[in-house]
Amino acid sequence: MTSTNLLVQKCICSFCGRSQEPHEKFYTNGHARMMLAKHVDYVRICPECTGLALTGVLSPMALFVDPSTHKQTPESIEGYLSRTVVGQDDAKRMLAIAAWQHMHRRSLPEARRSHLPKNNVLIIGPTGTGKTLMLETLAQLLDVPMVTFDTSTVTKAGYVGAKAEQCVYNLIAAAGSLEKAEFGIIHLDEVDKIRRMRGLDGDVGGEAAQQSFLKILEGMTLLVERMNKESKVEKVPFSTKNILFVATGAFPDLYEKHSQAGRSSAIGFTADYTKGSGPVLTEVTSEQLTAFGMISEFTRRLPSIALMQPLAVADLANIIRLSTHSPVEQYSQMLATMGVETEWCSDFIEEVARRAHAKHLGASGIASVLEHSFRDLLFTLPGLVHRHGGKLKLTFTAEFLDDGKPHIDTGTATASGDVHT
């Protein structure tokens, strides 16, 4: 028994995707075998689209995807993310898949878009592991508007604080138009800060804040103001159903409990207390998130969960060497604008990584270590460059981190930004 096409079952216009009202008549040719036959068994058209077709505005090819409008693949997206975020392969792959699905849905007409689910993403990871950087890089690649919204500022109705709907208004403002904002990305930051606090009276920003995001994540219609052609303000509907929401948070309890459980299995003289990180957290269950304080209705609307791993010393060293957003690379570029060649020795890189790791700030610790060491150099370097006409080469070794004095060569520079591996 052959299945009837969904467009026929629901009586949907094949061109605009609108459902038939009881008093309306949709025109159809159920026996026609057109170019669309292998995709749509029956073609229906509403009265509005009929008028557009007669004027030559409407084309049945709108039902197909134009490959030229959707060039990225999950593999190419992951490769682009790897230019800035070193490691974290599982998280990058999951975000790449979600991003590709998001762009693929955008390339489809409304009638077919509803059959593909929108997978909002929850990224869990310690501070400084690259969550925000990964999203900023993704938005640049896809050329879609993105805003970051601090969910910890949200309170329930009747209390002073931000409202959940503000994240949508911020996206519209950043996009510049409702059309661009429709498929934008909203980064919900610090979602672990709106955990439900058991036994706390007057919890106005915990469970209540999570509840306020439910309809927005699912897809709700807001009335937003915009200027019409007569320069008058009008309120128009705007739906969040096509926005990709990516929530991020540190969720420290999940990593700490997992680490403690791993260390408790080895005691006495056989235990290795030098590692300090325990086994790698590779999966988080809904039960763990509920125990942490996230309500199940909230986490169900974020079906794709990606885990970022804490950064070891070796990971930080690789970030310094390989990431295009590495603070060392940024210093190289800045000094190059002054005509200064730089060389970064391997002992310098390893020592920076060790000191950054001791700060427990993730990759953010790299910038903290370098900022302190570069303070005196940046004060005196511009004058030194001026006296030598810009022909300088600076070699950075581990000693620079203590005395702030790189090796200075006043000969002719031939290259810039060399990093020893």
Whether the per-residue pLDDT at 262 is higher than 80: the answer is no
| Secondary structure E strands in 335-391 | 340-344
363-410 pLDDT, tens per residue? 999 999 999 889 989 999 999 888 887 678 999 999 999 998 999 988
Last residue of a domain, one of 307, 340, 357: 307
In a domain, 327, yes or no: yes
Q: Which residue has the tokens 């792959």?
A: 93
282 plus 362 within the same structural domain: no
Given this model, what pLDDT does residue 197 score?
Answer: 77
Given this model, what pLDDT does residue 387 score?
Answer: 86
151 plus 263 within the same structural domain: yes
Q: How confident is the model at residue 50 (pLDDT cuts 50, 70, 90)?
A: confident
237 plus 133 within the same structural domain: yes
Q: What is the mean pLDDT of residues 296-304?
A: 94
- Of all residues in the chain, the percent with pLDDT exceeding 70 is 75
205 plus 347 within the same structural domain: no
Alpha carbon distance 374, 335 (integer Å): 12
In a domain, 319, yes or no: yes
238 plus 340 within the same structural domain: no
385 plus 269 within the same structural domain: no
60 plus 73 within the same structural domain: no
Alpha carbon distance 103, 105 (integer Å): 5
| Token pair for 31 | 């026996």
Distances (CA, A) of 21 to 11, 13, 25, 300: 9, 11, 8, 32
Q: Which amino acid is at 379?
A: F
Name the β-bridge partners of 13. Answer: none
74 plus 46 within the same structural domain: no
119 plus 175 within the same structural domain: yes
Distances (CA, A) of 262 to 88, 195, 255, 275, 308: 21, 25, 11, 11, 18
287 plus 342 within the same structural domain: no
Whether the per-residue pLDDT at 6 is higher than 80: the answer is no
Q: For the chain, give the mean pLDDT.
A: 80
Residue 321 domain boundaries:
313-419
In a domain, 380, yes or no: yes
Q: How confident is the model at residue 56 (pLDDT cuts 50, 70, 90)?
A: low
Number of domains in the chain: 3
> Cβ(118)–Cβ(242) under 8 Å?
yes
Q: What is the CATH number of the domain that holds 319?
A: 1.10.8.60
27 plus 139 within the same structural domain: no
8-state DSSP, 18: P
Alpha carbon distance 233, 3 (integer Å): 48
Q: Alpha helices, DSSP H only, in 82-165?
A: 89-107, 110-113, 131-142
Q: What is the pTM of this model?
A: 0.73
9-29 pLDDT, tens per residue? 446 676 666 667 777 777 765
Q: What is the CATH number of the domain that holds 100?
A: 3.40.50.300
Q: How confident is the model at residue 60 (pLDDT cuts 50, 70, 90)?
A: very low
Q: What is the mean pLDDT of residues 108-118?
A: 80
64-106 pLDDT, tens per residue? 444 445 578 999 999 999 989 988 999 999 999 999 999 998 8
In a domain, 367, yes or no: yes
| Token pair for 264 | 């408790």
Whether the per-residue pLDDT at 313 is higher than 90: the answer is yes
In a domain, 35, yes or no: yes
In a domain, 1, yes or no: no
Nearest to 281 by CA among 292, 270, 271, 296: 292
Last residue of a domain, one of 19, 40, 64: 64
257 plus 162 within the same structural domain: yes
In a domain, 85, yes or no: yes
Q: Dihedral (C-alpha) 36, 38, 41, 45: value to the nearest 10 degrees?
A: -20
In a domain, 407, yes or no: yes
Q: Which amino acid is at 280?
A: V
Exposure string of 195-209, with b = 16+ CB inside 10 Å and e = fewer, is: bbeeeeeebebbbbb
Given this model, what pLDDT does residue 14 score?
Answer: 65
Given this model, what pLDDT does residue 156 score?
Answer: 67
